[in-house]
Amino acid sequence: MASSNLLDHGVLLVKSRGTYFPTLIATWLGECFDAMDATIYFIAMYPAVSQLLASKDAVQIGWHGSSILFCFMLGWAIGSVVFGYVADKLGRKNTLCLTILLYAIACGLCALVQTTWQLALCRFAVGLGIGGEIALGAVMLGETSRPGKQRAWSMAALGTSFGVGCMLCGLFNFGTGELGWRYLFAVGIIPAIVTLYIRFKISEPQCFEELQKKRYDLQNVPKILLKQHERDVLANPFALAFDKRNRRSIIVVTLLATSAIVGYWAGVSWMPAWINQLTGHEAVAERSTATLCMSVGGFLGALLLPVMVSSFRYSTVFKIGFIGSLIAAIGTFTVVKAYSPAVNVCAFAVGVATYIPFIALQIYVVDAFATELRGTASGIAWSFGRIIAGLAALMTGPLIAMFGGSYGTAAACVSLVYLLGLVTAFFVRQPVVQKEYTERRKPRTASTGSHTPVVVAVQTINQ
């Protein structure tokens, strides 16, 4: 599908240069605060749930904590699909504002809860907003950047935002940890300020504006007179996503997303609570330090992505990411038996490895699908993964009980899901636009103009 979309992969992206940097800033800040508001729960979970339950029992805290995580993941899943569809139909900019405002306010409300079910409801709302923003932010930035090198580095830059968001969470925990978990949740309302920047500084991607113009021009034309690509412009994005031309790609990206999401959010995210068990106390400094180390690792993983995408096929990049994630996660939770500096080294390694599949998938989705269904396709992929991650999180409680209250052993078992991503990576096809870009990176002949590679790539895509 993406290979037939001329306007996506050259002409309009060049016209969009004026909106590139404001969009990069807006989406970077949006995902940075996504990460912060998402990670706050994992740092605050143990003290928050134990206080709300008035209990220190590891199994009871684990069951309630995983149930709240399930609600968060369910919201994330629903938000990905709903806001992805809304963005494809009504526009990227206003939808992005709405998602950020939603998760910021909901995270702030977590500071006021009095029961675990109130916390679960607020985290569900946080998930709705974050799910929509992450699915949409990457799409919007990808549509504003040129395919190939600029797009890869743009997504890498966007990927660093997640690590910075986790760092911010760790730093805020250093500052508010002794005051209590409610203060940490209250910090989560800060992202609402970003919506003001989005509202006044960025505009719709040029390719989406052109798509809306096409829809307007074709809406009164009899269907029988329309060509296939014109019918696609008017079609329901969900119908396009599961059309035979896109079905295989949808299944592949969904399985990749599922593996990355379940491994991280239902497995690796238990690291702060696991550190609580290793130390035997609140471990404010220890949890914050490990979170910062994992974030620094993720930052490095993000910076490695452009080099990897330029040097290898997407399938190889995904294989490297999932193998690294499997080894790092299982090795951390099974080898380390007591708290020591080794925990922070392992956290760094986990960060490097587990960020790679996420960022690679963000680039791949933009390259693999056309404008008219890109938001929906992204939403479907991330949504299904969140649902499975939510169910996996729900099952983590019983796993913890089965392993005698050990968070580490349960997290190691969940991390086996990275094998699914590794197997799926063998079925990843190289998008046409990326293959054409790679071919045109060869040295130009004397007769080749400075803009010829972009034009030729655009023309070849339709062949």
Residue 2 predicted with pLDDT over 50: no
**Alpha-carbon distance 275 to 409, whole Å?**
13
Residue 3 predicted with pLDDT over 60: no
Q: What is the pLDDT of residue 243?
A: 84
- pLDDT exceeding 70 applies to what percent of the chain? 86
Q: What is the pLDDT of residue 12?
A: 42
**Alpha-carbon distance 17 to 12, whole Å?**
9
Q: What is the pLDDT of residue 377?
A: 86
Q: What is the pLDDT of residue 459?
A: 30
Average pLDDT over residues 127-146: 86
Residue range 8-24, pLDDT digits in tens: 433 344 444 557 888 89
Average pLDDT over residues 327-353: 94
Residue range 244-291, pLDDT digits in tens: 888 999 999 999 999 999 999 888 988 988 998 888 776 778 888 898
**Alpha-carbon distance 417 to 191, whole Å?**
32
Q: What is the pLDDT of residue 429?
A: 93
Residue 5 predicted with pLDDT over 90: no
CA dihedral sign, ordered 449, 454, 458, 463: positive
Q: What is the pLDDT of residue 421?
A: 97
pLDDT band at 348 (very low <50, low <70, confident <90, very high): very high
Q: What is the pLDDT of residue 451?
A: 40
pTM over 0.85: no
Average pLDDT over residues 432-453: 46
Q: What is the pLDDT of residue 349?
A: 96
Residue 6 predicted with pLDDT over 50: no
CB within 8 Å of 287: residues ≥ 6 apart: 43, 170, 173, 272, 275, 276
Q: Give the tokens for residue 186.
A: 């209250």
Q: Give the tokens for residue 57.
A: 């029992």
**Alpha-carbon distance 237 to 33, whole Å?**
28
Highest average pLDDT, of 107-121, 280-294, 361-375, comes from 107-121
**Alpha-carbon distance 380 to 257, whole Å?**
10
Residue range 204-245, pLDDT digits in tens: 877 777 777 887 777 777 777 677 766 766 677 778 888 888
Residue range 407-421, pLDDT digits in tens: 899 999 999 999 999
Residue 199 predicted with pLDDT over 90: no
pLDDT band at 179 (very low <50, low <70, confident <90, very high): low
pLDDT band at 356 (very low <50, low <70, confident <90, very high): very high
Q: What is the pLDDT of residue 314?
A: 95
Instruction: Classify domain 2-461 at the CATH topology level.
Output: Growth Hormone; Chain: A; (1.20.1250)
Average pLDDT over residues 133-140: 84
Tell me the average pLDDT of the chain.
82
Average pLDDT over residues 112-126: 95
CB within 8 Å of 88: residues ≥ 6 apart: 237, 372, 373, 374, 375, 376
pLDDT band at 80 (very low <50, low <70, confident <90, very high): confident
Give me the residue spans of the domains in the chain: 2-461
Average pLDDT over residues 424-442: 69
Residue 453 predicted with pLDDT over 50: no
